Amino acid sequence: MHTCTDAFDCFVSRVLPKRTGPETVRLFRTLGSHVHLKPDRQLHYPDDEPTLVFLCDGATKLVAHASDHREQVLAFHFTGDLLTLPAHGAHSYTLEALVECDLMTFPYAQFLQAAEKHQQVLTQLLERSTVSLQRSREKTLTLGRKSALERVSSFLLSMAERIGRGEGSEVKLDLPMSRRDIADSLGLTIETVSRQFTLLRDQGLIRTQGRSGVTLLRVDELDRRAGHLRVAA
């Protein structure tokens, strides 16, 4: 854990407003810590106070732990995402790297205090927090009321939106997470996830290349499988 100029600069350009004064930048620099994580390693953070994390580069999963070794992936994050790790309450949370990651961490309370004079930073935090809430609500619907096939279809569409590369009518994905992570995110088992992948492949809606490569061939049909009300044109 040391201060790395590159990661902090990345944070500055992506989160702070364009014309932030140098003394403010310096203030944020003193608050933040740069952390590099190897795949499968988790971020250690104080369990009594919330932490703000900016993911400069990489992909992570936020995991909640219940009793009895059960795990639930609450969210995946990718390069450029900003997230708040809550203090541990009835359950504990960990942030784990899916691939090599560079991140900047800040004590939440101090960050907020530093941001108070900079309305644009607050607005940005609020906006990103709203997006997270929105994603979390979509997930709630998925976990509460959808079948296995609908969950996997929703997952693929959501990933396409966030890390997909469109190629004509197709969307290519390089999933950084394992089948286990997907299962833990969708409230299913790896076997069930695998079976839905096979089903979608057999129906000609997706193609898979190796473990992580997925190509969405029929986004409109996937939308239908996902149980969405409005199907993208």
Partner DNA sequence: TTCGCTCCTTGATCTGGATCAATGAGATAC
Partner DNA sequence: GTATCTCATTGATCCAGATCAAGGAGCGAA
**CB-hemisphere CA count at 13 Å for 97?**
19
Residue 195 within binding range of DNA, rule CB under 7 A: yes
* Chain centroid, CA 56 distance in Å: 13
Q: Count residues contacting its own copies (CB under 8 A)?
A: 51
Residue 125 within binding range of its own copies, rule CB under 8 A: yes
Tell me the two tokens of residue 8: 């902090």
Residue 192 within binding range of DNA, rule CB under 7 A: yes
Q: Which of 172, 159, 157 is nearest to 226 (CA)?
A: 157
Q: Is the Cβ–Cβ distance between 100 and 38 less than 8 Å?
A: yes
> 212 touches which of its own copies, DNA, none (CB within 5 to 8 A by kind)?
DNA
Quote the Cα angle for 126-59-100, to 5°. 135
Residues 211-230 contacting DNA, CB under 7 A: 211-212
CA distance 109 to 105: 12
Q: Is the Cβ–Cβ distance between 42 and 87 less than 8 Å?
A: no
Residue 133 within binding range of its own copies, rule CB under 8 A: yes
Smallest separation (angstroms) from its own copies to the CB of 24: 15
Residue 42 within binding range of DNA, rule CB under 7 A: no
Q: How many residues does the chain have?
A: 233
Tell me the two tokens of residue 4: 């790395």
Smallest separation (angstroms) from DNA to the CB of 167: 20
Under DSSP, the state recorded for 90 is S
- Rule CB under 7 A: choose which of 84, 94, 110, 189 binds DNA: 189
Smallest separation (angstroms) from its own copies to the CB of 199: 18
Smallest separation (angstroms) from DNA to the CB of 196: 8
Smallest separation (angstroms) from its own copies to the CB of 63: 10
Backbone torsions φ then ψ of 90, nearest 5 degrees: -65, -25
Q: Which of 233, 81, 219, 80 is nearest to 158 (CA)?
A: 219
For its own copies, give the closer residue by CB, 131 or 213: 131
Residues near its own copies (CB under 8 A): 64-68, 70-72, 74-75, 84, 86, 88-92, 112, 116-117, 119, 122-123, 125-126, 129-130, 132-134, 136-141, 143-146, 157, 184-187, 223, 226-230
Binding site for DNA (CB under 7 A): 147-149, 178-180, 187-195, 197-198, 208, 210-212
